[in-house]
Amino acid sequence: MDFIDTAYLYGPFVSEQIIAEALHPYPEELVIATKAGFTRTGPGEWTVVGRPAYLKQQVELSLRHLNLERIDLIQLHRIDSEVPLADQLGAFSELQEAGKVGHIGISEVSITEIKAAREIVDIVSVQNLYNLTNRQSQDVLDYCTAEGIAFIPWFPIATGDLATPDSPVADIAGELNASPSQIALAWLLQASPVVLPIPGTKSVEHLTENMGAVQLRLSPEDRARLEALA
């Protein structure tokens, strides 16, 4: 595992601090991605904020919390409809030119929005909700596959719903001597070479289980059954 996805919002910022505490000094091959563009306004309440000054402030704080001089991948957490997209991505571009950001990605976007963003900066990744039971971003995945853009599906096991013993994938998991979460992750990994799932992990055991999906191979028949069930 050489990719970790986090965000200033998570905590807020506590997730970034935990990553630094646990892993710094970071292995050379490790890629850390974080996000900016959201603020928490109350319990369970989030507001999109795309003002350039705010985005830059969040990036600066993420650099501090992660104990980094350069963020490998900064992602616009959501597009702010009240701020020109060129201004939002322009803030990241300025930080990129200053050496504080390596690459730029966007999240929860349509193909039209991706194309508009690519006219402003080089977009290397897209992070959308996508899993076996929610494939509403299939067209975005197809576009990213064709264009060679990394596709990072969030909620890859549907907030754990696909990991339970009575989930839609449980029977096939039993047949393949795998866990339901491994099946859900393997399905994603085999969906396209640009897919990079980011399952949430709360224990070493859970992490080890998730990593087992890399070795799991689903046949075309397995995939067809899974897609029919979901």
Which of 5, 2, 1, 35 has its CA nearest to residue 152?
5
- Please count the residues of the chain: 230
Confidence of residue 112 (pLDDT cuts 50, 70, 90): very high
Residues assigned a catalytic role: 10
- Environment class of residue 57 by beta-carbon count within 10 Å: exposed (0-12), middle (13-18) or buried (19+)? middle
Q: What are phi and psi of 7, to 5 degrees?
A: -165, 150
Q: Is the pLDDT of residue 159 over 70?
A: no
Mention the CATH class of domain 3-127.
Answer: alpha beta
Q: What is the DSSP letter of 26?
A: P
Instruction: Supply the pTM of this predicted model.
Output: 0.94
What pLDDT is attached to residue 166?
A: 79
61: Cβ–Cβ under 8 A, 6 or more apart, which residues? Answer: 8, 13
The per-residue pLDDT of the chain, averaged, comes to 94
27-36, 88-97, 157-166: range with lowest mean pLDDT: 157-166
Q: Are 225 and 192 in contact (CB under 8 A)?
A: no
Rounded mean pLDDT, 12-39: 96
Q: How many angstroms separate the CA atoms of 57 and 121, rounded?
A: 20
